[in-house]
Amino acid sequence: MKSQENSYSWKKFGSLISQKTVSKPLFSVAILLSVISTIVSLVVPLFAKNFIDGFMGKNFNTNLVFYLLLLFAAQVVLSGFALYLLNLIGLKLVFAIRNRLWNKILYLPIRYFDNTNSGEFVSRMINDTGLIKTLVSDQFPQVINGIISLVGTITILLFMDAKLTVILFIAIPVLILIVAPLGKKLFVISKGLQAETAAFSSKISQVVGNVRLVKATTSENVEVENGRNDLMKLFQFGNREAKINAIISPLTVFVVMGILIGIIIYGGVRVNAGTLTIGTLIAFLIYVFQLLPPITSFVTFFSQLQKVKGATQRIYEILNESSENLSHGDSVSFSDKHIYAKNLTFSYDDENTVIDDISFEGKPGEMIAFVGPSGAGKSTIFSLLERFYHPTDGNIFVGEHSMKHISLESWRSQFSYVLQDNLLLSGTIRENLIYGLKHEVTDEDLWQALKLAYADSFVADLPEQLDAEVGEHGVKLSGGQKQRITIARAFLSKAQILLLDEATASLDVRTEQYVQKSLLQLMKHKTIFVIAHRIDTIKHSNKIIFVDKGRITGQGTHDELIRTHELYASFIQTQFIDDDVNEERA
Cα-to-chain-centroid distance, residue 519: 38
Residue 493: what are its φ and ψ, rounded to 5°? -70, 150
- The 3-state DSSP class for residue 568 equals helix
The yes-or-no answer on residue 317 being catalytic is no
Residues 6+ apart with CB under 8 A from 291: 149, 150, 153, 168
- The 3-state DSSP class for residue 522 equals helix
Of 535, 527, 546, nearest in space to 576 by CA:
535
The string of DSSP letters for 31-44 reads: HHHHHHHHHHHHHH
Interior/surface letters 247-280, b for 16+ CB within 10 angstroms, e for the rest: ebeebbeebbeebeebbeebbeebeeeeebbebb
> Residue 247 corresponds to which amino acid?
I
Label each residue of 434-472 as H, E or C. Answer: HCCCCCCCCHHHHHHHHHHCCCHHHHHHCCCHHHCECCH
Find the largest Cα–Cα distance for the chain: 121
Residues 6+ apart with CB under 8 A from 431: 425
C-alpha–C-alpha distance, residues 386 and 348, integer Å: 16
Number of helices (H) and strands (E) in the chain: give both, helices first.
Answer: 21, 10
C-alpha–C-alpha distance, residues 436 and 440, integer Å: 11
Residue 345: what are its φ and ψ, rounded to 5°? -130, 140
Task: Tell me how crowded residue 426 is: count the other CB atoms within 10 A of its CB.
Answer: 13
In terms of C-beta density within 10 A (0-12 exposed, 13-18 middle, 19 or more buried), how is residue 491 classed?
Answer: buried
Cα-to-chain-centroid distance, residue 209: 17
Pair 61, 120: CB distance under 8 Å = no
Of 547, 538, 489, nearest in space to 512 by CA:
538
Question: Which of the residues 120, 196, 241, 502 is marked catalytic?
Answer: 502
- Active site members: 502
